[in-house]
């Protein structure tokens, strides 16, 4: 059933979960087990889960002795090729504890704009879910260019949720919920629920963050949540450490209520317009 409120996530048939680089790379790599524990529990209860996972480039950094996130496209692509392999190995090693098999799905923005490629991607993920395999989706950083990127995997998560008609989208972050301004600033108040159509312009979500391991931040999560909710998909933004509570429908995080009357049509229209506004050094 479509999740109209966060408690409905517990009864959803199909959920997309997105996790960012900072939550699973470097000293946070141990959190993969926490995420897999929650996903495996939901999977065991019959829920169809699609995991959208960043982290390929961040995972490769220590193996390649780069000292930090590379700035040039060729090195980013090379790091992605190495890191994606290690990242999938880490997920599968953790999933082996529950005898769950993962399937890798790498996408570019062009794949979701091209009707044939989009149909192929949908069919592949539907078949993986039908076989009770966990699709793990990431942007295909090895071949993507600055001009045709999703911009961040929060947006990719929103588009995948639309592609497979998910009942809910869970965007995992480093903090428990969104705030009216950066949470370390005086006067910051937690935002627990955003009704569809609410005006958020008075809030200060900050600029997009490009750090040593990835890209994203509160602003990208708000943008992705609005994109998915406009298509009729409820979105929960919360901490990666609270994934079990999120999938159980507990009162955590920030809930973006879905559009009660979403329009039908392509989910990919915003991609190129959004990417056109991205700085050249964004991933």
**CA-based nearest residue to 48, from 20, 97, 81, 11:** 11
**Is 23 assigned a ligand-binding role in the annotation?**
no
Q: How many distinct structural domains can be found in the chain?
A: 1
pLDDT at 271: 46
**Is 18 assigned a ligand-binding role in the annotation?**
yes
**pLDDT averaged over every residue in the chain:** 87
On the question of pLDDT at 212 being above 80, the answer is no
Domain membership flag for residue 159: yes
Most confident of 29-43, 67-81, 264-278: 29-43
Q: In which domain, by residue range, is 133 found?
A: 6-276
List the end-to-end C-alpha distance of the chain, in Å, as a whole number.
34
Domain membership flag for residue 1: no
On the question of pLDDT at 210 being above 60, the answer is no
pLDDT digits (tens, 9 = 90+) for 59-72: 999 999 988 888 88
**Is 72 assigned a ligand-binding role in the annotation?**
no
**Is 2 assigned a ligand-binding role in the annotation?**
no
Domain membership flag for residue 283: no
Domain membership flag for residue 281: no
**Is 199 assigned a ligand-binding role in the annotation?**
no
Domain membership flag for residue 282: no
Distance (Å, rounded) from C-alpha 164 to C-alpha 121? 9
Domain membership flag for residue 118: yes
Q: Choose the weakest-confidence range: 30-39, 121-130, 187-196, 273-282.
A: 273-282
Most confident of 105-119, 158-172, 186-200: 158-172
CATH number at residue 113: 3.40.1160.10
**Is 54 assigned a ligand-binding role in the annotation?**
yes
Domain membership flag for residue 220: yes
């Amino acid at each position: 059933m479509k999740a109209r409120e966060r408690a409905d996530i517990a009864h959803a048939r199909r959920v997309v979960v997105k996790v960012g680089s900072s939550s699973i790379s470097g000293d946070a790599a141990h959190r993969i087990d926490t995420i897999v524990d929650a996903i495996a529990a939901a999977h065991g209860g019959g829920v169809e889960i699609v995991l959208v996972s960043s982290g390929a480039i961040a995972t490769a950094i220590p193996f390649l002795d780069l000292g930090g996130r590379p700035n040039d496209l060729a090195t980013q692509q090379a790091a992605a090729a190495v890191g994606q392999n290690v990242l999938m190995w880490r997920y599968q090693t953790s999933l082996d504890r529950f005898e769950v098999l993962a399937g890798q799905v790498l996408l570019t923005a062009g794949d979701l704009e091209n009707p044939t490629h989009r149909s192929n991607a949908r069919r592949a993920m539907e078949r993986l879910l039908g076989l009770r395999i966990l699709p793990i989706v990431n942007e295909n950083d090895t071949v993507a260019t600055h001009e045709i990127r999703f911009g961040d995997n929060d947006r990719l998560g929103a588009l995948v949720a639309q592609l497979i008609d998910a009942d809910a989208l869970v965007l995992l972050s480093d903090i428990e919920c969104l705030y009216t301004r950066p949470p370390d600033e005086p006067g910051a108040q937690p935002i627990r629920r955003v009704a569809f159509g609410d005006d958020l312009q008075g809030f200060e979500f900050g600029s997009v963050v490009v750090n040593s391991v990835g890209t994203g931040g509160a602003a990208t999560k708000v943008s992705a949540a609005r994109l998915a909710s406009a298509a009729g998909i409820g979105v929960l933004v919360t901490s990666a450490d609270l994934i079990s509570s999120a999938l159980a429908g507990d009162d955590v995080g920030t809930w973006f209520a879905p559009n009660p009357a979403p329009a039908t049509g392509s989910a990919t229209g915003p991609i190129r317009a959004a990417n056109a506004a991205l700085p050249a050094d964004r991933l």
